Structure 1
Amino acid sequence: MTQAAARTLVFPLRLLAALILGGLWPLAFAPFNAWYLAIVLLFGLFWLAVTTERPRRAAALGYAFGFGAFCSGVSWISITLHNFAHMDWVLAGGAVALLAAYCAIYPALALWLATRFFRDNIRLLVLPVLWIFAEWSRARLFTGFPWLATGYTQTHVFLGGFASWLGQYGVGLATAAFAAILLWILRESRSRQVLLGGVSALLLLSGLALAAGSVRFTHPTGQKLRVSLLQGDIPITEKWNNAAIGHILHHYVQLILQVPKNSQLIVLPETAFPVFQTEIPGLISQLQEWSAQNHKTLIIGIPEAAGGKYYNAAMEIDGHAPLRWYQKEHLVPFGEYIPLPQLLGPLVHHFLPGLGSFSFGHGPYVLPVDGQKAGMTICYEESFSRDVRKGVGEGATFLLNISDYAWYGHSIAAAQSMQMAAMQSRQQQKPDVRDTNTGITTLISPDGQIRTQLPQFVTGTLNGAVQPMAGETPYGRWGSLPYLLLSGLWVLLALGLTRRQSSSRQ
């Protein structure tokens, strides 16, 4: 084989390597929890990037990695499309590939920028910043999609110590920097000075993460709150069947009546009552009376009809007090609302009639519970740190999420979501109460540890207690601003070094 032919074969092999690295990316996340793989896989991708001098080829490598990561990491979306939109598996898989094709643009852009404007080890210096900034952008543009962000892999390990200071993007930056430092050591392995500097940098980064994670910004307030979380395990096919509504309501009422006498808060999952509140005034009145007699607060997932609009909502019953509501604000595109409805509405309604009819909620973001405040989110809102911060900004002393992952069957979606919820607890240093229809229903401590949970796909009640926490973490107060400032300074440093390098060569 000639040298030219060998060179022709090299790049396709590198593309294949990037695709394989991306395909392995979900293993770093729950439920597999191989957190160290995030460092290993980024090490491999960064090596491919720094040994490629053409920006377009670097972008192709990033695209291949991203495409592989999202095709394997969010393949559970095809379950919903096949089972409930009645798409053929091939068509459902094609829809997942289309989403992956969009998400892959961000890592491709990160590697293109790094290769276009930086050289040699300076490129390695800036790659972690551009990589995580691409993830931050993906979570914000076009309503956002934060799945498979690097920082979430470190939720339960030492690099997660940066969470309360810089959020999960700061954690991701530390993770990517870890990989870049290891690669720098390998590339300059003949230099004892680099070896010493690299090992020192890794030890410093690890020490800072451990020290950062030991600082407590929040403190207990009031007595522990005794909670009962009801997991109804209602199949989706039954949940939205009009003939089954009476059975579903009776099912949940029986679970409510069986909670321990000392429970103060009873939580039902997202759309546990699959009817509008205007359709069951008698049942709501009875629950108000029961709540008053037994001194218990109920938070029930139920669609709300108000002012000619419909909301995916949580209704709070606190005795005879007026009903309080939390309306979901961050809706799922193509599920709860349809972007460009005149253009795309007919296509969506062909597969899923009636979907896309919810309106956007607009606060408040907390519900009062026995002198405390529950920071509310519904479903995948808890995956967005900026949504969780809204409740914290209104004084939430604990987080509360209601969800329904029955749409995704026996997949990894629920575990991925729980890992992101645990990161939210660690970022805010507040406990999280999560109630879902089919699991994973759980209580999460302020340091992000899973305290207790129910098995999936069983009917049950999770009884426990959470200690409300007052105060704000730096991340809770300033959000991503410190992370963005740090990233900006990092890029300015890299640009300065690049200019100096160019001047010395001239």
Structure 2
Amino acid sequence: MNSLLLLKKTKLADFKQLIIALSSGVLMGLSPAPLNLWLLSWIALVSLWIFIFQDKKSYQEVALIGFTWGFGYHGLALFWITGVHPMTWMGVPWLASLSIAIAVWLAISFWGAFLVSLWTIICSFINRKFLKVNRDNTVIFIITRVLIGVTVWCSLETLWSYGSLWWSSLSYTQSPNNLAILQLTKFSGFNTVTAAIVAVNGLLAEAIILNQVILKKQINSEKTFSIPHNLNSTPKQNILISNKVKPLICLPIILFFGLHIWGLWLYNYPIAKDNLEPIKVGIIQGNIPNEIKLYSEGWVKAIQGYTKGYQKLAQQKVDVVLTPETALPFYWNDITNNSDFYQAVIKAKVPAWVGAFGRKDTDYTNSLFTLTGEGKTLSRYDKTILVPLGEYIPFEPILGKIIDTLSPLEAHLQAGKPEQIFDTPFGKAIVGICYESAFSQHFRRQAREGGEFIITASNNAHYSRAMPAQHHAQDVIRAIESDRWAARATNTGYSAFVDPHGNTLWRSAINQYQIYANTIYRRQTKTLYVRWGDWLTILLSVISMVVIVKKRLV
């Protein structure tokens, strides 16, 4: 009977931990845009950390807790993916469309949850096999455990970022509102912020764990010696608890404010504009719904809307006009073959960056073209990082026939070469098309090779309103990391201008046709991140390995 009661209590406790883990993951999911409750991310990992390191659980138990937390975070943060439903305009039945949207959402949420689960398993393994509590050096032990936790998380995010399903790094929970901490991405990219978030959460959790251990010892001691407990007295043990835990509570607070003060100092450092050539960029947000974009009604609206917008911006004496991803949904040769837009460029003689389709053998590319004022095609950039399922089909022999129903085009989209350079009349540009905004290394490579400003072109009409807000947040981080001015044009919002400190100088309304002009500047600086990449994760990994080997040998 006692065994059954103990089993029930254990199961109830495990269930409560799963609920708490899920709730904490949801808290992290509330941090990114559009809600921008970024402060929550600095405490949302605490409960997960405690569950993993405090109790002796099996690897299956810690994996389940991590998976639950990860699903709470990624499931909420990426819920906008369900906005692809309904796809009836593509000929997909309503129920099938709903099923596809849910399946895609679950797939990307489970992938993110799996990585958190993997983090819990690795950390639990290292903690058991290599770390032993040294009662004389509690602070050193805790800092070591936090170092391991930070290193493993950053390493997993780095590996994740080189895959095709990458978006919701912990770092993007701080964008675009916490610009102070985002300045640190100039040193080692997005993982600088990720490391800070995990470290602060870990130190807070370790302080709570230590406090609980001491309280448990105190209670056991009182039971052993039958010392009556008086709430109005101040036992010696309580003083010891206060003295031991206070320094640990101070550590995450000092780290949090110290990093933000450092970032604020960098944020307030003036952006030099001396000897830099300004570029007055005009942006056209065409606002053409996906339901009509690839059909005759959308074609007519695109030609009319972008030609009219181009003419108005040319009258404002802009240096160049930027259009969104596939703004003109035609093959490039058809556009330059005497279309109304092409004729407007010939007449006004203002260059344009035009989103359109390019030909590649029998297939096509999602491309951005530089059209000079003389009507010549100066350069072409083909989108390199394609969206799984949306733009290319993983495991095509198996899934191809099913997924092909999602595309109204008969040809298949082909990826561009990673080493592309985009030359313009104003120097080299750093280019990102839609999904590429999430990939730091894509922008870093182009900045390292001489890109002087950022231009991004996106559609954003596929999903709910949360996605354009998060997409803008990604571009804000890219501008800060590379220390570049950025102009971003989207089909339905949010189009924007961003400075090297991440300030949004203008952001369009959503689901509206808009044109706007602003000035960006060419910039040739190279941040530590542009020069050295994610050196912080490498350094943390080396230090962690040295610590683990040393612990093993002792």
TM-score (norm 1): 0.91
Task: Select the residue among 90, 101, 112 that pairs with 1:92.
Answer: 101
Equivalent residue for 2:373, pick from 305, 319, 325: 319
| 1:373 aligned residue | 428
What secondary structure does 2:337 align onto? helix
Q: After superposition, give the CA deviation of every residue in 1:96-121 in whole Å (9 maximum; x if it has no partner).
A: 11322222111101001111121564
Q: CA deviation at 1:210?
A: 3.4
Q: Confirm or deny: 8 A CA contact 1:228 1:463 kept in the other structure.
A: yes
Please give the secondary structure, in 2, of the residue aligned with 1:107.
Answer: helix
In structure 1, what is the Cα distance between the partners aligned to 2:47 and 2:179? 21
The structure 1 segments of at least 4 consecutive aligned residues displaced by more than 6 Å after TM superposition are none
Q: Specify which of 318, 335, 353 is matched with residue 299 of structure 1.
A: 353
1:125, 1:494 within 8 Å by CA — same for their partners in 2? no
CA distance in 2, matches of 1:454, 1:376: 20
1:317 deviates by 0.7
- 1:394 aligned residue (449, 459, 462): 449
Give the corresponding residue for 2:216: none
Tell me if structure 2 keeps the 8 A contact 1:365–1:394.
no
What letter corresponds to residue 391 of structure 1 in structure 2?
Answer: Q
Flag the structure with larger Rg: 2
1:50-92 CA deviation, whole Å, 9 max, x = no partner? 1232222111111111122222221222221433554343453
- Partner in structure 1 of residue 537 of structure 2: 484
1:416 matched to 2:470? The reply is yes
Instruction: Provide, for residues 350-400 of structure 1, a one-character-per-residue CA deviation record: whole Å limited to 9, x for no partner.
Output: 343537711111266443444333211101101100111122122111111
SS at match of 2:30: helix
Contact 1:265 1:369 in 2 (8 A): no
Q: Take 1:160 and 1:329, find their aligned partners in 2: how far apart are those partners?
A: 26
1:336 to 383, 388, 391: 391
Distance (Å, rounded) in 1 between the aligned partners of 2:371 and 2:419? 16
How far has the Cα of 1:123 moved from its partner? 3.8
Q: Contact (CA 8 Å) 1:219, 1:470: kept in 2 or not?
A: no
Report whether the alignment pairs 1:18 with 2:18. no
Instruction: State the percentage of identical aligned residues.
Output: 21
Partner SS, residue 17 of structure 1: helix
**Deviation digits for residues 279-300 of structure 1 (CA, Å, limit 9, x no counterpart):** 233335x656644554422001
Structure 2 gaps of 5+ residues are 134-141, 212-240
CA contact (8 A) 2:50 2:209 kept: no
Aligned to 2:113: 104
Q: Does 1:73 align with 2:77?
A: yes
Q: Match for residue 52 of structure 1?
A: 55
After TM superposition, the score normalised by the length of structure 2 is 0.83
Residue 151 of structure 1 and its aligned partner are, at CA, apart by 1.1
Q: Look up the equivalent residue of 2:403 and give its one-letter code.
A: V
Residue 234 of structure 1 and its aligned partner are, at CA, apart by 0.3
Q: Pick one of 184, 209, 217 that aligns with 1:187.
A: 209
Structure 1: distance between partners of 2:423 and 2:529: 23
Whole-angstrom distance in 2 between the partners of 1:209 and 1:310: 46
Answering whether residue 43 of structure 2 is matched by residue 40 of structure 1, we say yes
For the Cα contact (< 8 Å) 2:431–2:454, is it kept in 1?
yes
Query: 5 Å matches for 1:356-505?
Result: 357-362=412-417, 365-408=420-463, 410-480=464-534, 482-492=535-545, 494-496=547-549, 498-499=551-552, 503=554
From 161, 166, 169, give the equivalent of 1:149.
169
Tell me the distance in 1 between the aligned counterparts of 2:324 and 2:367: 11
Q: How does 1:137-216 map to 2 (within 5 A)?
A: 137-141=159-163, 143=164, 145-155=165-175, 156-189=178-211, 190=241, 192-196=243-247, 198-200=249-251, 202-204=253-255, 206-208=257-259, 210-211=261-262, 214-215=265-266
1:4 maps to: 7
User: How much does 1:314 deviate?
Assistant: 0.5
Matched, 1:229 2:283: yes
Give how far 1:312 is off. Answer: 0.3
Distance 2:538 2:301 in 1: 54
Equivalent residue letter for 2:83: I
- The answer to whether the Cα contact below 8 Å between 1:329 and 1:361 also exists between their aligned partners in 2 is yes
Q: Residue 27 of structure 1: CA displacement? A: 0.8
Map residues 247-266 of structure 1 onto 2, 5 A cutoff: 247-259=301-313, 260-266=315-321
Distance 1:351 1:272 in 2: 20
Structure 1, unpaired ranges of 5+: none
Contact 1:277 1:303 in 2 (8 A): yes
| Partner SS state of residue 76, structure 1 | helix
Secondary structure class of the residue paired with 1:452: strand
Which residue identity does 1:400 align to in structure 2? I
Q: Deviations over 1:97-156 (max 9, x none)?
A: 132222211110100111112156454442222223222222223x2x232211112332
Q: Does 1:64 align with 2:68?
A: yes
* 8 Å contact kept, 2:483–2:500: yes
Measured in 1, the distance between the counterparts of 2:429 and 2:400 equals 35
Aligned length: 496
